[in-house]
Amino acid sequence: MKKILRYAHKIVAKILSKHRVYIISLRCNSAKMEILCPQHDTMRLAILCLCSDEIKRKALSGNVAELGVYRGEFASKINQLFPDKMLYLFDTFEGFDDKDIVIESQNNFSSATDNGKEKFSNTNIDLVLKAMKYPQKCIVKQGFFPKTAEGLEDKFCFVNLDADLYEPILQGLKFFYPRLEKGGYILIHDYNSNEYKGAKEAMCQFCKSENITFLPLPDAGGSAIICK
């Protein structure tokens, strides 16, 4: 059934893309976001648009960031919606790091880490920057997180965590939440994923330790969101 639903989602997204349908039925006030390819999760994009609307309404300061960029598809939407803010792009750009894979294996968190290093390695910085509408507003941080964030003192109004695995998700929350502007958002991908269970474990552990509440979301990626 799950395979059928995923296939149906791709077919619907492909049809919408062909007819250049925009996410306007979900009451987003931001610039229209085209569904450019069937991989896009329309609900997740709508959530991003709504967060952008609220951030602009509240006139929040701070920059934006993504941990787990891969080929830059979702990051390009962040870049488009926040043209006045610097976008930090954190990724190895080489797939999963061996240190994180060990943690996944030891705790039986994920079933896909064996091929994750290869699966997410078909990317590079030039490819990602070419996807950006405002590449001059991007700061690439390549390497192992959180080492790549050392010395960074910026505040943030929106962060997308899409690193899939327990350790980078946990470290992302530990780094970004204290630096999140009041009223800002952290979107965590794979919270309800059966493939990457470490993401949920990391988020629940962090939120319990910090007495933080969060909201699970009905997007295809099983995301959750924190509002400070």
**The domain spanning residue 97 has which CATH number?**
3.40.50.150
- What is the C-alpha to C-alpha distance for residues 220 and 40, in angstroms, rounded to an integer? 9
Other Cβ atoms closer than 10 A to 77? 25
Which domain covers residue 177, as residue numbers?
61-227
Q: Is residue 37 part of a domain?
A: no
State how far Cα 225 lies from the chain centre: 11
Other Cβ atoms closer than 10 A to 174? 14
Q: Is residue 55 part of a domain?
A: no
Q: Is residue 154 part of a domain?
A: yes
What's the number of domains the chain is made of? 1
- Condensed to tens digits (0 to 9), the pLDDT of residues 55-80 reads 999 999 999 999 999 999 999 999 99
Q: Is residue 125 part of a domain?
A: yes
Q: Is residue 220 part of a domain?
A: yes
- The answer to whether the beta carbons of residues 139 and 128 sit under 8 Å apart is no
Q: Biggest alpha carbon distance in the chain?
A: 47
- Condensed to tens digits (0 to 9), the pLDDT of residues 134-189 reads 999 999 999 999 999 999 999 999 999 999 999 999 999 999 999 999 999 999 99
- Condensed to tens digits (0 to 9), the pLDDT of residues 7-61 reads 555 555 555 455 444 444 455 555 555 444 444 688 899 999 999 999 999 999 9
- What is the C-alpha to C-alpha distance for residues 28 and 65, in angstroms, rounded to an integer? 21
Q: Is residue 120 part of a domain?
A: yes
Q: Is residue 174 part of a domain?
A: yes
- Condensed to tens digits (0 to 9), the pLDDT of residues 179-224 reads 999 999 999 999 999 889 999 999 999 999 999 999 999 998 899 9
Q: Is residue 140 part of a domain?
A: yes
- What is the C-alpha to C-alpha distance for residues 95 and 211, in angstroms, rounded to an integer? 32
